[in-house]
Amino acid sequence: MDNNEGGSSNLNIPKVDDTNYLHWSMQMEAHLCHKGLTKYITETTEAINIKHAETVDTLMNYMSETTFKAIITPQNEENPYKIWSSILFIVKRPSATLTKLQEMMHLEESWKNRMPVVSKSNEKSSKEQSDAAAALMQHNPEATSHNSKNCWQLHPEQRPHPSQMIPPLAKLLLLSMLKSRTGMSLRYLSYSRKQQASRLC
């Protein structure tokens, strides 16, 4: 017996958050398709009707509180297309990408630590390579961005972790893109990044 009317009886759809978007979106799209509501999240229809409200209700019922606060605004609270678009943007936001990049960097570091020890037959070529590398590890006196005291070639221990090397301009660009798409203030975004950074440490 099909239940196209009414709410969410016996559904096993998790609430969307930063970690389960793919699983959630597949289940949610299947559920909305079954109820005949898919067009309300894929088309920018302005007509407000019962199906709009039902679609919004379904989307809101399957969001974590954090996701709800980040996505639902007075401008989009009645528009299922805008809500769905915001979910897509938030889940694919730069900080999620940065987290994935950090994981990749850690994988690369662990991979480098597993490199096999050089055999004696390769010792000579390794010695030549290390001499060439040492020749390259000199401060460029024509560099205008730093002096020899702050040179990462001479002092590799001063180099920040790759996750901290996002240029300030790129950070501003990412934050402004996020604000323009979600309507959140930069103060909130900065606070959220600080919270996320404190959880990572």
Q: Which amino acid is at 201?
A: C
CB count in 10 Å sphere of residue 99? 16
- What is the tens place of the pLDDT at every residue in 104-151? 666 555 555 655 555 555 555 555 556 555 555 666 776 777 788 888
**pLDDT (0 to 100) of residue 3:** 43
User: Measured between alpha carbons, how far is 75 from 33 in angstroms, rounded to an integer?
Assistant: 25
Residue identified by tokens 């920040």 is: 160
Residues forming beta bridges with residue 63, ordered by sequence position: 16
- What is the tens place of the pLDDT at every residue in 26-48? 888 888 888 888 887 877 766 56
Phi, psi of 16 (to 5 degrees): -70, 140
Residue identified by tokens 């005291």 is: 149
DSSP 92: T
Residue identified by tokens 């606060």 is: 69
